[in-house]
Chain A
Amino acid sequence: MKFKVFMGALVWALLISALHVQLNVGWRDLGHKLKVLLGVERQELLVGFLPVT
């Protein structure tokens, strides 16, 4: 019974996390952040501008 409760909670946590990434974070952004953390990719910052001084 305890095992079933544990598995249920785990599956629920995984599902709700996946839904959060899908709706709020984005898989691409998450992947990029993980790669930056692991040192595979460089950190990036977008800087907006208009071509006028």
Chain B
Amino acid sequence: MTTHSEAGTVFTARKFTDWATVKESILSKKVGASFLLAPMAMQLAADGVPVKIVYLGHRDGSALVVGKDSPIQSFEDLRGKVVAVPNRFANQNLLLRKMMRERGMPFDAIETRDVPPPEHPTALQAGAVDAFVVGEPFCAKAEMDGVGRVLYHTKDIWPGFISCVLVVHQDFLDEQPELIAELVSGISKSGLWLDESMENRFDASHVVGKHFYFQKPQLLQWVLSKPVDRVTYGDLKPIRANFDEIMELAFETGILPRRLRFEEYVDPSFVPAGERSAWGVEAETLREEAARLRLEPGTAPDLEMPELKRRAQ
């Protein structure tokens, strides 16, 4: 692991525990850039805060989880139930609205409750909620702990789902564009590297688990392999159609006070030239790799396999 980029810049990751503090740190320019919930970034722009989305953090990587032995078998079964969401301004909240609208259900057919992401599995286990929809690794944690069952992965109900986006204050974009370009380029390269092979993903699980997430690598390996396209990093360019859909949903739900033009909150000029614009290729590569490592989609990695065990040491 290097401590600086190829150009010599030190990018220091600062961990936060709640979205309000992240938002405040962007406003006060205490951080140069930050990953933020997509609708929250739109809301900042709608309020006149000079911020722009320059890249995505990942695609997919969220799931709707119900109790392991819950009788809930389909989305319609959630009618009249309580579902935890990470935040009112989370795209997971809008996902529920989208699914309700597609099924002709009124928006009050399901009660949503804001719960901090790490508390989702325990809220489900305690019976405080009937289901939750949140980003990883908390869905995987509920599965690993035998508490929850994935009803839907976002990749299956909203392909290319966007949760967190890279947000930068306009002042940084104007004053240090080369730094932001370097950061985006680094994220792009890391994403392609992650989607290149299962070996890379397992290596990353150790580094991220130990130095950034402070969680067991096995949990992150579960996220990155079960199934292999549970979360993807290969196509992180902000695409207008994706964001228009989120913006419309946010406006209909009342999260946004007005409709926003794509250019008001996105600056795609930092996307590395020649980046692939269609997803699916990376997931296919991963499936081939999983087959090589004898990992079937929907199965946990066999950590006792000599090849993986050696790498885990």
Residue B251 at the A interface, CB < 8 A? no
Q: How many Å from the CB of B195 to the closest CB on chain A?
A: 14
B93 at the interface (CB under 8 A from A): no
The residue that B32 contacts in the complex, of A42, A46, A49, A53, with Cβ under 8 A, is A46
User: How far is it, in angstroms, between the C-alpha of A48 and the C-alpha of B118 when the chains are bound?
Assistant: 18
Contact A45 B135 (CB under 8 A): no
A43 pairs with B33, CB closer than 8 A: no
A45–B177 CA distance with the chains assembled, in angstroms: 12
A45 partner, pick from B11, B86, B134, beta carbons under 8 A? B11
Cα–Cα distance between A52 and B164 once the two chains are bound (Å)? 9
Query: Which residue from chain A places its CB closest to the CB of B19 in the assembled complex?
Result: A50
Interfacial residues of chain A within 1-53, with CB under 8 A of chain B in the complex: 42-53
Contact B214 A44 (CB under 8 A): no
Q: Are B34 and A47 in contact (CB under 8 A)?
A: yes
Residues of chain B within 8 A (CB-CB) of A42 are 4, 8-10
- B137 interface hit (Cβ, 8 Å): yes
| Known pairs A47-B12, A48-B31; A53 contacts B183 (CB<8 A) | no
Residues of the A chain whose Cβ atoms lie less than 8 Å from the Cβ of B137: 52-53
Residues A44 and B12 in contact, CB atoms below 8 Å apart: yes
Q: If the complex has contacts A45-B11, A47-B33, are A52 and B25 also in contact, measured as CB distance less than 8 A?
A: no
The answer to whether the Cβ of B212 comes within 8 Å of any Cβ in the partner chain is yes
Q: CB distance B135 to A53 under 8 Å?
A: yes
Task: Mark the stretch among B54-62, B104-112, B277-285, B293-301 that contacts chain A.
Answer: B54-62
Q: Tell me which residues across on chain A come within 8 A of B19, comparing CB atoms.
A: 50
Q: How far is the CA of A52 from the CA of B136 in the complex (A)?
A: 6
Interface residues of B in 53-104 (CB under 8 A from A): 57-58, 61-62, 86
Cβ-based interface call for B198 (8 A): no
8 more contacts with CB within 8 A, not counting A44-B11, A45-B9, A53-B231, are A44-B12, A45-B183, A46-B31, A47-B11, A48-B31, A50-B35, A52-B134, A52-B136
Sampled A-B contacts (14; CB under 8 Å): A42-B9, A44-B9, A44-B11, A44-B12, A45-B12, A45-B183, A46-B33, A47-B12, A47-B13, A48-B26, A49-B14, A52-B134, A53-B57, A53-B61
